[in-house]
Amino acid sequence: MRKIYIFDTTLRDGEQSPGVNLNTQEKVEIALQLEKLGVDRIEAGFPAASPGDLAAVNAVARAVKNATIIGLSRSRTQDIDAVREALKGAEDPCIHLFLATSPIHRQHKLRMSKEQVLETAEAAIRYAKQFFSKIEFSPEDAGRTELDFLCEVTEMAIRAGATVVNIPDTVGYMTPVEFGNIFKTLREKVPGIEKIQLSAHCHDDLGMATANALAAIENGAEQIEGTINGIGERAGNTAIEEVALALETRFNYYQAKTTLNLKEIARTSRLVSKLTGMPVPGNKAIVGANAFAHESGIHQDGMLKEKSTYEIISPETIGLVESKLVLGKHSGRHAFREKLIDLGYELDDEALNEAFAKFKDLADKKKQVSDEDIRALLEEKLVDTPEVYRLEKLQVAYDNRSVPSAVIAVNVQGEGVKEQQAEGNGSVDAIYNAIDALTGEQVELEDYAIKSVSQGKDALGEVYVVLGQNGVSAQGRGLSTDILEASARAYIDALNRLIERRKSPRRRDRMSLI
C-alpha cells in the first residue's frame, strides 16, 4: 500500500489563526491527542518567536513519544539554535526551515536576488545538518515561484541535506491542475529527487486546499501538511480529516492511504475546537454537526431503505458512536461508567467521581442527559488553569423597560468571597461589568459566541469568550443549562487564563514570520 505521511501543523500554522493563542498545557493536550490519532509528524510551534513558544515546543517534544516533533525556523542561525534548544528531549526531532522563493516575495519582502535566496537557504540547511538528521525545507510561496527556479531550489536543498522538500501554496492561489503539475515537474526534472520526500502544504483562500493536496498526491507527494478542522492563517490550511477520509473512501481511485486511527477524528476535532475556541461550522466536511444529518424526506426515506443511498462515510468511521444507554436523574454510577466506556473515555476513580457528581447535578436540571452533554461535561475542564477567581453566585434582574443589573459573588484566591453589583446594556453586559468591577481587571471582550450542546429547551449552553489585555489574549469556556451562568463562567475562565498567560507571555509577533 502507498502510504501518505501526515504532517500536522495545528499547533503552528493552526495556531496562527486570528484570535487563537494556545498555552503550553493546551498544546501538550492537543499533541497527545494527535499522537492517539496517529499523525506521523507534529509541528509544535516556532521556537524563535518567543521564550514562551520555545518552552511550549519543548513541553510537546518531551511529552510525545510516537511522532516526529518539528520546530519551524527561518533560514537564520539564531532560529535554528532556538529549535535545537526547543527539541531537546524529543525522541525523533526534525527542523523545518523556510525561505521565500517567489518573485513577489524576493523583490518586496526579502529584497534578495535568486542567487542570494539560494545561498541563504543552502547555508541554513548546511548549518542545521550539523545538528539534525531530519530536515524539511520549504520554499515559501512555491506556488507562485518560477518552475525552473523551484527545480533549482529543490536540487540545492537535496544537495545540502534536506530530507523532505515541502511545496507550500502559501496564499492559496493554485488550482489543482497547476499544483499537481509542480510535483510532476519536480519528479521528472530534479536530479536526486528520489532521495527525499515531497510534501504539499496548501492554504484555503479559494477553497481548494484539499483538492490541491489530493492533486499533489496524484502527482507524487508523499506527505500532506494540514491542520485539524482546517484552521490556520486567513482561510486556513488543508483539513487533515478531509484528506484522510478522501483517501479512505476513494481508495479505489487514489490507491493510497494514511495510517491514521480514523476513529479518533471526531474527538480530535472537538478538542481542537474547544481549546482554540474556534467552532466547527455545521456544514464542515467530515466533522461538522450536519455532516451525517439527513433532513429531506426523500433522503430520509432512502437512508431507511439502504444507508449507502445517501451516506458515503459512516459516522462510526470517525468515532461518532451513539450509545443506546439513555441516562437521566435515576441513573447510577454503574450506568454512568458503562456510558463512559461506550463513548470511549477511560477515567480513573477520582476523575470518575468528579464527573459523576457533575452528571448528577446536570441530571437534576435536565430530563435526559445526552451523549453530547456528557462529552461536554467531561471536556469542560480539559486543562487545569489555577482558579484565581471562582464563581460562587449569580443573580440577574431583567425587565424589558428598565436597565438590566447583575449581582455576582466570586471567590478570590487568598481573599475569600466578594460580592459586586453592576448595570449594563443587557444581562450579559451587566454580569461582565460586575466582574470587571469586582476583579479590577481592565480587559477587552474580543469575542463572544454561544452554542447549544444538545437539543431541547433544557439543552446545555456553551459560551466561548476571548478577552484581551495589552496585546495578550486568552479564551475561556463556560457550560451551564443557563446561558447567563455559562457566560459568567466563560468570562471568569478567560480571566484566569489571562492571569496565567501574563506570568509566561507567549506574545507572537506575526511580522517575525518573514
Q: How far is the CB of 364 from ligand KIV (least distance, A)?
A: 49
- How far apart are the C-alpha atoms of 434 and 418, rounded to whole Å? 11
**Segment interacting with Zn ion (CB under 5 A) among 8-16, 112-120, 300-308, 327-335:** 8-16
Give the residue closest to Zn ion by C-beta: 13
Residue 13 among known ligand-binding residues: yes
**Segment interacting with Zn ion (CB under 5 A) among 12-20, 156-164, 314-322, 325-333:** 12-20
SS3 243: helix
Q: How far is the CB of 8 from Zn ion (least distance, A)?
A: 13
Q: What type of residue is 206?
A: L
Q: Which is nearer to ligand KIV, 140 or 264 (CB)?
A: 140
Q: How far is the CB of 54 from ligand KIV (least distance, A)?
A: 17
**Is residue 204 a contact residue for Zn ion (CB under 5 A)?**
no
Q: Which is nearer to ligand KIV, 138 or 480 (CB)?
A: 138
Q: Which is nearer to Zn ion, 18 or 426 (CB)?
A: 18
Q: How far is the CB of 55 from ligand KIV (least distance, A)?
A: 21
Nearest to 484 by CA among 372, 367, 405, 377: 405
Q: Which is nearer to Zn ion, 13 or 122 (CB)?
A: 13
The position carrying cell 478522501 is 246
Nearest to 485 by CA among 510, 461, 466: 461
Q: Which is nearer to ligand KIV, 203 or 267 (CB)?
A: 203
Torsion of CA 428, 477, 262, 182, to 10 degrees: 80
Neighbouring residues of 174: CB distance < 8 A, sequence distance ≥ 6: 143, 182, 202, 208, 212
Torsion of CA 361, 362, 368, 370, to 10 degrees: -130
Q: Which does 405 bind (CB under 5 to 8 A by kind): Zn ion, ligand KIV, none?
A: none
How far from 68 is each of 4, 42, 89, 162, 224, CA to CA, in Å? 15, 6, 12, 15, 14
Contacts with ligand KIV, residue ranges (CB under 6 A):
13, 98, 138, 140, 168, 170, 201, 203
Q: Which is nearer to ligand KIV, 221 or 422 (CB)?
A: 221
Q: Which does 462 bind (CB under 5 to 8 A by kind): Zn ion, ligand KIV, none?
A: none
Neighbouring residues of 126: CB distance < 8 A, sequence distance ≥ 6: 160, 161
Q: Which does 5 bind (CB under 5 to 8 A by kind): ligand KIV, Zn ion, none?
A: none
Q: Which does 432 bind (CB under 5 to 8 A by kind): ligand KIV, Zn ion, none?
A: none
Residue 237 among known ligand-binding residues: yes
Nearest to 234 by CA among 513, 10, 11, 16: 16
Q: How far is the CB of 417 from ligand KIV (least distance, A)?
A: 48
Q: Which does 274 bind (CB under 5 to 8 A by kind): ligand KIV, Zn ion, none?
A: none
CA 107, 110, 115: angle at the middle one, nearest 5? 80
Q: How far is the CB of 278 from ligand KIV (least distance, A)?
A: 18
**Is residue 13 a contact residue for Zn ion (CB under 5 A)?**
yes
Q: Which is nearer to ligand KIV, 201 or 497 (CB)?
A: 201
Q: Which does 98 bind (CB under 5 to 8 A by kind): Zn ion, ligand KIV, none?
A: ligand KIV
- How far apart are the C-alpha atoms of 223 and 258, rounded to whole Å? 9
- 354 grid coordinates: 468528579
Burial 427-457 (b: 16+ CB within 10 A, else e): bbbbbbbbbbebbeeebeebeeebbebbeee
Pair type for strands 416-423 and 405-412: antiparallel
Q: Which is nearer to ligand KIV, 60 or 486 (CB)?
A: 60
**Is residue 122 a contact residue for Zn ion (CB under 5 A)?**
no
Binding residues for Mn(2+): 13, 201, 203, 237
Binding site for Zn ion (CB under 5 A): 13
Binding residues: 13, 201, 203, 237
